[in-house]
Structure 1
Amino acid sequence: MDLRNFGLSNFGLEPQLLSTIQDMLDFADDHDRAGRAPPEQPIRAYVRDAKAMAATPADVKEYPNSYVFIADMPGVKAAEIKVQVEDDNVLVVSGERTEREKDEKDGVKYLRMERRVGKFMRKFVLPENANVEAINAVYQDGVLQVTVEKLPPPEPKKPKTVEVKVA
């Protein structure tokens, strides 16, 4: 169920509250009464991936010699972040924040939960001049910075001189 279809924002409800309610309804749709997720279904996987992408904002900068992708990921351990290149030109940043499971094992009960847990992912189509062999990822203070070096510009083609023969 999508609350946006009911026009609840017209009743003065804050978008953040609507988002939280929507997440709760989505969880209820995706789990049985015991809290177990159903077997993986392609549509649910697509929706989950779309939500993970929407929940991972990022900045992209272009420098003279590189492209830099910056994503805030507070509370995520570096070991839980994966940076890959798919199809030779798609940069994929993904991972999972699993802090909630640890707390549940320790008997902690949440009274309010606003920080997002679960999977996150972003995909970026790289420009043709991106050097996928020269990628560097640094995670510091909850911020991931991925630098993709640019390929050097191609050298201008020199004109070919053809010798003219006398017949």
Structure 2
Amino acid sequence: MNLVKRNYSNGYLVMDQFFKDILGGTQYAHKTVPPVNVKESEGFFNVALVAPGLKKEDFNIEVDNGLLTISYKAEAEKTEEQEGKYTRKEFTQTSFKRAFTLPENISEESINAAYTDGILNITLPKKEEAEKPAKRVIEIL
């Protein structure tokens, strides 16, 4: 499973301080892509994506040529007349798309997903490998 690690260098932290008053820091940009945990077990991988407040119908999960793509398209906010006005509004829903290159040993036909308590869990079962021949010592004649 391909993973990309974020590297927070000192230069990044300086930039974070510079933009702190304007945008609330550069960590604001990281909120648009939901975090993912990838866990490998003996027979499968599990991808857990945190996306609270959505419905299972909101997600689009595709597998094409060894690429797993998870996406969500946010609809435009409905402007309804409500009593009162906001003094602060931080709830937002933004579209996202995450893609992962699958290892060759994944059984693409058996992938399944479940959305429970704000976490999308995708199970990627490994293919049953053909039994490997036992180690053999060859005698020299």
Q: Same fold (TM over 0.5)?
A: yes
In structure 2, the partner of 1:122 is 98
Structure 1 145/112 Cα, relative in aligned 2: closer, same or farther at 3 Å?
same
More helix by share: 1
Structure 1 93/156 Cα, relative in aligned 2: closer, same or farther at 3 Å?
same
For the pair 1:149 / 2:125, whether they are aligned, the reply is yes
What does 1:68-79 correspond to in 2, within 5 Å?
A: 68-79=46-57
Q: Which runs of 4+ in 1 moved over 3 A?
A: 108-111
For the pair 1:80 / 2:58, whether they are aligned, the reply is yes
Structure 1 127/8 Cα, relative in aligned 2: closer, same or farther at 3 Å?
closer
Alpha-carbon shift at residue 139 of structure 1 (Å): 0.4
- Structure 1 distance, partners of 2:87, 2:60, is 31
What does 1:1-167 correspond to in 2, within 5 Å?
A: 7=15, 9-10=17-18, 13=20, 17-19=24-26, 55-86=33-64, 88-98=65-75, 101-102=77-78, 104=79, 106-108=80-82, 110-156=86-132
- Give aligned pairs, total: 120
Segments of structure 2 that go 5 or more residues without pairing to the other structure are 1-11, 135-141
Alpha-carbon shift at residue 96 of structure 1 (Å): 2.6
Q: How big is the alpha-carbon RMSD for the aligned residues of Structure 1 and Structure 2?
A: 3.2
In structure 2, the partner of 1:36 is none
Structure 1 8/92 Cα, relative in aligned 2: closer, same or farther at 3 Å?
closer
The higher relative CO (CA closer than 8 Å, separation ≥ 6) is in 2
TM-score by length of 1: 0.59
% identity of equivalent residues: 29
In structure 1, the partner of 2:7 is none
Alpha-carbon shift at residue 64 of structure 1 (Å): 0.5
Structure 1 8/147 Cα, relative in aligned 2: closer, same or farther at 3 Å?
closer
Structure 1 97/153 Cα, relative in aligned 2: closer, same or farther at 3 Å?
same
- Structure 1 distance, partners of 2:125, 2:45, is 6
**What letter corresponds to residue 96 of structure 1 in structure 2?**
K
